């Protein structure tokens, strides 16, 4: 039977970060994934992910985000890759709605640098936007985007450079506590380890052995629109900030044009339930496309509707839409990270550090208590 200090199951955004942090601390790490590094079958692909400090979901995330920014910059310095771009983020919607109210509440509690604008003021500064006058706009300069596949690849490269072994095309079937450690069963045989880190993304419900958590998986679509040549400069990176609209029909977000595919736009709300992550429909859903184009026509009218690309990713949702991170309630040698509910990738760098702490000592100084799986038990 093969042996190591820590086995990591799943090498997406969170698992690759955990591998990098553990290996950097001298731990013998074996990371396993059924797909190649930075694959497009799960939740950590699709060119970009938003990163922001004024977190409307809950103010308790902000200290973690501050550390995440530091760790992303550290990873850039160690790997020589550009991973995080502070392009700014324009968030618009009703002042009393959960997005604007939550953003301003987090900014106030943590003293964050945000600018509150009227819709008219925002339209003067960025003429591509057409926003209802009743909406409030918040501009966060330090927000921006992460190059998602590059981030996963950078963490994986850092892990291997520090001595980790990462194996793809390896399917994990089960795990069990055994003596003072764990045994992981794979299609290549069994592996014994002192500790186990579970970061299986959309496959979490079947691997965590925690039915009370009640994870579900949603299919989400990403769309890219290529603007006409005459207006391309207004939508280019450096000119256009990232944007998010808390509209009556849902919550939508997007990014400036980073390549010839153009502007990426997606809906954070909604989504179709997925039974088998391996069998998800990756084609274009015309109803989803109509919802996206209704928003862009209303609020980015000069963008047009020339769809240049499309991709599908998966959200693994917890019942309260907050992350599930901590020691397994029944196995203190198993650390878990799941249920990132479509807003977790920006935290990958700091979640990797927290999981490394948990795997080595069973505790962490990082403020993740509010994310503990114990809240479901």
Distance of alpha carbon 16 from alpha carbon 9, whole angstroms: 10
List the Cα angle 332/8/58 in 5-degree steps: 70
In whole angstroms, how far apart are CA 288 and each of 26, 218, 254, 291?
47, 13, 15, 5
230 is written with which tokens?
């005459």
List the Cα angle 329/333/334 in 5-degree steps: 60
Q: Which residues lie below 8 Å from residue 27, measured CB to CB, with a gap of 6+?
A: 5, 6, 356, 359, 360
Cβ burial of 34 (10 Å; 0-12, 13-18, 19+) is: buried
Cβ burial of 96 (10 Å; 0-12, 13-18, 19+) is: exposed
Query: If we measure between CA atoms, which residue out of 31, 57, 22 comes closest to residue 340?
Result: 57
CB 253 within 8 A of CB 337: no
Q: What is the DSSP letter of 241?
A: P
190: which strand partners?
185
Distance of alpha carbon 262 from alpha carbon 283, whole angstroms: 19
Phi, psi torsion values for 86, nearest 5 degrees: -85, 80
Query: If we measure between CA atoms, which residue out of 340, 373, 367 comes closest to residue 43?
Result: 340
Active site residues: 45, 48-49, 264, 268, 313, 346
Distance of alpha carbon 317 from alpha carbon 201, whole angstroms: 10
Query: If we measure between CA atoms, which residue out of 144, 135, 201 comes closest to residue 172?
Result: 201
Q: Which residues lie below 8 Å from residue 296, measured CB to CB, with a gap of 6+?
A: 225, 265, 303, 305
């Amino acid at each position: 039977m093969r042996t190591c200090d820590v086995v990591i199951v799943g090498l997406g955004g969170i698992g690759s970060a955990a591998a990098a942090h553990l290996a950097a601390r001298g731990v013998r790490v074996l990371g396993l994934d059924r797909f190649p590094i930075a694959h497009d079958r799960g939740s950590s692909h699709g060119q970009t992910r938003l990163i922001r400090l004024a977190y409307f979901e809950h103010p308790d995330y902000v200290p973690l985000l501050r550390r995440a920014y530091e760790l992303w910059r550290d990873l850039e310095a160690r790997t020589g890759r550009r991973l995080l771009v502070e392009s700014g983020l324009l968030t618009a919607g009703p002042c009393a709605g959960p997005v604007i109210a939550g953003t301003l509440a987090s900014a106030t509690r943590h003293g964050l640098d945000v600018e509150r604008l009227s819709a008219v003021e925002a339209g003067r500064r960025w003429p591509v936007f057409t926003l209802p006058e009743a909406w409030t706009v918040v501009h966060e300069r330090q927000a921006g985007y992460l190059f998602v596949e590059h981030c996963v690849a950078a963490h994986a490269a850092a892990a291997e450079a520090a001595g980790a072994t990462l194996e793809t095309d390896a399917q994990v079937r089960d795990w069990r506590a055994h003596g003072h450690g764990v045994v992981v069963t794979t299609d290549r045989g069994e592996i014994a380890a002192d500790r186990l880190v579970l970061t299986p993304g959309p496959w979490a419900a079947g691997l965590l052995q925690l039915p009370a958590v009640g994870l579900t998986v949603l299919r989400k679509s990403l769309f890219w629109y290529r603007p006409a040549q005459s207006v391309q400069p207004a939508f280019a990176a450096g000119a256009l900030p990232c944007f998010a609209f808390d509209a009556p029909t849902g919550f939508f977000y997007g990014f400036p044009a980073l390549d010839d595919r153009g502007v990426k736009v997606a809906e954070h709300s909604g989504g179709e339930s997925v039974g088998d992550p391996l069998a998800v429909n990756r084609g274009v859903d015309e109803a989803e496309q109509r919802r996206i184009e209704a928003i862009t026509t209303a609020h980015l009218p000069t963008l047009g509707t020339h769809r240049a690309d499309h991709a599908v990713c998966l959200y693994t949702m917890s019942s309260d839409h907050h992350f599930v991170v901590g020691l397994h309630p029944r196995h203190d040698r198993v650390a878990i990270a799941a249920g990132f509910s479509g807003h977790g990738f920006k935290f990958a760098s700091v979640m990797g550090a927290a999981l490394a702490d948990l795997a080595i000592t069973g505790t962490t100084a990082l403020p993740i208590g509010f994310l503990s799986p114990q809240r479901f038990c």
